[in-house]
Structure formats: C-alpha cells, structure tokens
C-alpha cells in the first residue's frame, strides 16, 4: 500500500512511519536524469524539515518538489519505458535492464541547493545521484547496499576526478531510506542521518548545476518525495566542519579493497590534489599533454577517440541526407512503418490513448511484449526491418560500425611503428609519463609499498 504523503519530519519521527516499509562502481548505468531543478515547485509542495535535520545548511526557498502523487506529477518529467509511476512511486521497470535509462526534468539551473529524496533497493546493485554543469559532471553521490560515497568528476584538463569520502551503511533491500545532499559553494555533505555522512570540498562543486541525474545499475529501485531547496549556510558551520572532517578521517574504509584497489584510490586522490596545488606536478602534466597533442595534430587518424569516430559517422549521415533525396525517402518509409506498428498496437490496446506521458511508455512496451505472438504485428515489424536493412545497404557510409573504425584506426597506428619520427615522439611521451609516475610515487610512499602486490593481481587477471 502506498504510504501517505506528508510534510518532512525530524528523522527520528519519520523512521517510525517511513523506514519500516518494504521495498551508489565506475560506469554510468541505468538511471534517470533531471536537467537541473526548476524555478517553480510542482506536485505537492514539501514543507521544509527543521534546520537541525541538516548538517551544513538550512533549507531556504523550495525550488522543486515532487511526490509522484497521481494527478499532480509534473509534466516536465520525461519518463520513458525504463520507468513508471506506480502507486505514487517512481520505479525502474524491467524494460531492457542492461541499458542506461534516464528520465529528465527540463528548463532549470541551480547552484547552492539541498537535494533530498527517498529511495529503495529492489534488486539494484547501485544508485547514483549525479550533478553537473560547466561542461560535464561535478559530483556523484554513489549509493551501494553496503556503503555510500561522494566523488568529484574529471573536467577536461581543469580538474582530475577524486573520491571525497565514504561511509559504511547497511541499506537493506525492500526498505525505504532518505538521502540528503547539501551543496554550498565548494562544499558538499551527503547524509542519511547525523552519524552517517560524507563530507567533501572541491572547486568543481562551486558550479552552476545544469542537470541532476539519478542512475541505477540494473533494475529494481524506487524513488519518492524528491525535493530541492536553496541552501543557506548555517552560522556554526565553520566550527562544525572541523569536527565532521576529523570524524570522517578516523573511519575505517567502508569496503575491503585489495592492493590494486587501494593503489588506484590513493593515486586517484593524489593526482587530484597535486593537479590543483603542486606547480612541479602541473608542469609535468603540461609537458606530457603538449607532446601528446602535437603528435595527434600531426597524425590525427592514429588518435581518433571512440567519441570522435561516432561523431564522424553522424556527420557523414547528415551530409548524405542533405545531398541525396533518396536517403530522406527511404528513412521516411522506415519511420512510417514504425508508426504503423504503433498504430496497430494502439488499435488492440485502446487504453494507451488516454495515458499521461509518465505512464505511457512503460505501458506501451508492456503491450508490445504481450503481443509477441501476434502474426499481424510480426508482419509489420518484418516490413520495418526490411526497409531499415535496405536503407543501410543503400548508404553504408551513413551507418558505419564504430567498432570497425576503431580496428582501422588501430591498424593505422600500428603501421606507424615503422615511422622513425613517430616512434621517437611516442618514446618521448612515454618518458614524460614515467616522469609523472615517478613524481607521484615519490610523493606518496604507500604507492611503492602496494606496487608489487598490485602487479601480481594484474598479472593474475590477465591469465
């Protein structure tokens, strides 16, 4: 049964009527995205909790509020088949569990804010709250069943990624929890209560956030009571910060890491710290980057990234479409065939016609799956597939396989090994990279202590 919507209460009281209910890794997996917060609150407005329920800031003006109550759900949510609102809760569906899925909220921006949301593990291995702006992500609050942590992201050559901290917590499957993430200028603190928190400080945090993303690894997660407030820094924060920072520093690691994982984490945070505060390290990085960029300028085909190759395919497809009317005609035929599939599914499931957007896509895919043995739908799908195959055969350059292009790039790069100038410049880049590594090892003795065990693990994994 859906729990009743309520104003925010102190956590000690909310536990009694909220946490008893049954039912964040390295890659961005299944999730949903909010293109920041909007300026007008929708749904049932969340009354701000008492200031003592926050650690760094007090909640100010409500920027956005969503309880997913039927009839009040914001039209700004872009929910596709990967999510549905069921009994007043946003849930990850079983649609394509291996795929990345997002739902977004449009037209907004935010800076100093507090996010709070309820979440529940229903089989997922990880949930991530991601914020971004200024050309990329800035923070990631990563929630796993046994712990949570806060990371900062890489931003071009300006900032290296880091892990700000971690905290052990036993998030039980099927049970509701509340995560609060407070941002103010360069600081962040994420917490589930006053004892379980992660505090961090980094210049990338002091960014106008242009999106918020919740991402789920695998299916089986639920979300509710999402609120965004302006953050107002508490008067006692400077004094309180030192105590929380000291407490976090004294904690044992939230998870057990082998030598390779320990090495990688130490190296991650060391690179971030030195890249911002060490002039000699910055000079070493700049020299290495200059050698790489000039070599790429002189031999661009040998260094095309997966992203650049994908963009090249898209650009060629656009150019072909603009100059050859046959492409437009054949693509239009494919789209019309897909519309016929959709119309036929609607003709057999009239209930789809009146569904709001946040319910439609999951329901549509469910109806399609239920018709897998329908001969008429199978025939329509075959027509669409045939028309699509004809389009690909007629314009192969518009649909090149990026994996094939990667193989071609690698073959070309390998052929350059016979080029003396190219080989010498590659060796110079390797030497510059070795200088960086040696400097890092000299700065952090623990890295040398872990090197042998780390390499043993790497060799073992290659067997």
Average pLDDT, the chain: 88
Q: Under the phi-then-psi rule, with left for phi > 0, alpha for psi from -120 to 50, and beta for the rest, what region is 4?
A: beta
- Write the pLDDT tens digit of every residue in 188-246: 999 999 999 999 999 999 988 887 778 888 888 999 999 999 999 999 999 999 999 99
pLDDT at 35: 44
Mark whether 248 and 289 lie in a shared domain: no
Say whether pLDDT at 4 is over 60: no
Residue 179, beta-bridge partner list: 117
Q: Does residue 401 fall inside a structural domain?
A: no
Residues present in the chain in total: 463
* Parent domain of 425: 260-304+410-462
Give 363-389 pLDDT, tens digit per residue: 999 999 999 999 999 999 999 999 999
- Given a cut of 60, whether residue 45 has pLDDT beyond it is no
Which H helix or E strand runs over 127?
strand 126-132
- Taking Cα atoms as reference points, which of 57, 21, 8 lies closest to residue 177? 21
Centre a 10 Å sphere on the Cβ of residue 417 and count the other Cβ atoms it contains. Answer: 10
**Could you give the CA distance from residue 215 to residue 389 in angstroms, rounded to a whole number?**
33
Do residues 188 and 32 touch, judged by C-beta distance below 8 A? no
Residue after which a domain boundary falls, among 351, 366, 394: 394
How many other CB atoms are found less than 10 A from the CB of residue 386?
12
Is the residue at 323 inside a domain?
no
pLDDT in tens, 21-41: 333 344 434 444 444 433 444
Cβ atoms < 10 Å from Cβ of 259: 17
pLDDT at residue 79, as a whole number: 77
- 165, 62 Cβ separation under 8 angstroms: no
Shared-domain flag, residues 133 and 71: yes
- C-alpha 392/C-alpha 334 separation (Å) is 11
Domain boundary among 394, 424, 439: 394
In a domain, 318, yes or no: no
My answer on whether 171 and 221 are in the same domain is yes
Q: How far apart are CA 48 and CA 60, in angstroms?
A: 8
Give pLDDT, residue 372: 94
Same domain, 376 and 445: no
Q: What are the pLDDT digits (tens) for 242-287? A: 999 999 999 999 999 999 999 999 999 999 999 999 999 999 999 9
What is the C-alpha to C-alpha distance for residues 127 and 68, in angstroms, rounded to an integer?
A: 19
Calculate the dihedral angle through the C-alpha atoms of 307, 310, 314, 317, rounding to the nearest 10 degrees: 160
* Site of tokens 């609120």: 227
Higher-pLDDT residue of 76, 54: 54
SS (H, E, C) 29-58: CEEEEECCCCCCCCCCCCCCCCHHHCCCEE
Q: Are residues 78 and 203 in the same domain?
A: yes
Provide the 3-class DSSP secondary structure of residue 92.
strand
* 3-class state of residue 291 by DSSP: helix
- Do both 358 and 449 map to the same domain? no
H or E element at residue 284: helix 279-298
- Identify whether residues 266 and 240 lie together within a single domain: no
Domains: count for the chain: 3
In a domain, 403, yes or no: no
């Amino acid at each position: 049964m859906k729990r009743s919507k309520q104003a925010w209460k102190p956590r000690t009281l909310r536990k009694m009527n909220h946490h008893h209910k049954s039912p964040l890794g390295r890659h961005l997996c299944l999730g949903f995205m909010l293109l920041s917060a909007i300026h007008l609150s929708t749904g049932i407005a969340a009354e701000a909790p008492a200031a003592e329920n926050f650690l760094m800031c007090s909640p100010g003006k409500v920027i956005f509020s969503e309880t997913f109550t039927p009839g009040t759900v914001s039209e700004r949510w872009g929910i596709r088949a990967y999510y549905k609102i069921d009994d007043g809760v946003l849930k990850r569906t079983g649609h394509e569990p291996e795929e990345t899925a997002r739902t977004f909220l449009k037209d907004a921006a935010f800076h100093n804010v507090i996010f709070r949301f309820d979440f529940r593990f229903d089989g997922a291995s990880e949930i991530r709250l991601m914020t971004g702006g200024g050309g990329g992500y800035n923070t990631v609050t990563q929630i796993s069943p046994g712990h949570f942590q806060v990371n900062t992201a890489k931003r071009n050559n300006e900032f290296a990624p880091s892990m700000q901290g971690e905290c052990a917590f036993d998030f039980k499957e099927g049970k509701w929890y509340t995560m609060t993430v407070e941002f103010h200028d360069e600081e962040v603190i994420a917490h589930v209560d006053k004892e379980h928190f992660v505090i961090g400080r980094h210049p990338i945090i002091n960014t106008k956030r242009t999106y918020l993303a919740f991402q789920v690894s695998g299916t089986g997660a639920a979300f509710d009571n999402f609120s965004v407030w302006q953050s107002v820094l508490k008067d006692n924060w400077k004094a309180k910060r030192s105590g929380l920072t000291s407490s976090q520093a004294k904690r044992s690691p939230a998870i057990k890491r082998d030598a390779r994982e320990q090495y990688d984490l130490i190296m991650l945070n060391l690179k971030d710290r030195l890249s911002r505060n060490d002039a000699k390290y910055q000079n070493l990085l700049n020299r290495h980057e200059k050698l790489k960029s000039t070599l790429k300028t002189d031999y661009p085909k040998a260094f095309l990234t997966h992203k650049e190759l994908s963009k090249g395919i898209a650009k060629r497809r656009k150019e072909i479409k603009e100059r050859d009317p046959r492409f437009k005609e054949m693509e239009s035929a494919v789209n019309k065939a897909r519309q016929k599939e959709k119309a036929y599914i609607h003709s057999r499931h009239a209930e789809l016609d009146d569904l709001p957007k946040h319910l439609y896509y999951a329901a549509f895919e469910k109806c399609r799956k239920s018709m897998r043995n329908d001969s008429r739908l199978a025939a329509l799908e075959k027509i669409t597939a045939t028309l699509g195959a004809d389009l690909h055969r007629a314009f192969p350059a518009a649909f090149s396989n990026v994996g094939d292009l990667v193989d071609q790039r690698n073959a070309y790069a390998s052929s350059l090994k016979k080029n003396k100038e190219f080989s010498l410049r590659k060796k110079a880049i390797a030497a510059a990279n070795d200088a960086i590594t040696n400097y890092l090892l000299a700065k952090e003795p623990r890295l040398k202590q872990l090197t042998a065990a780390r390499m043993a693990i790497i060799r073992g994994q290659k067997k």
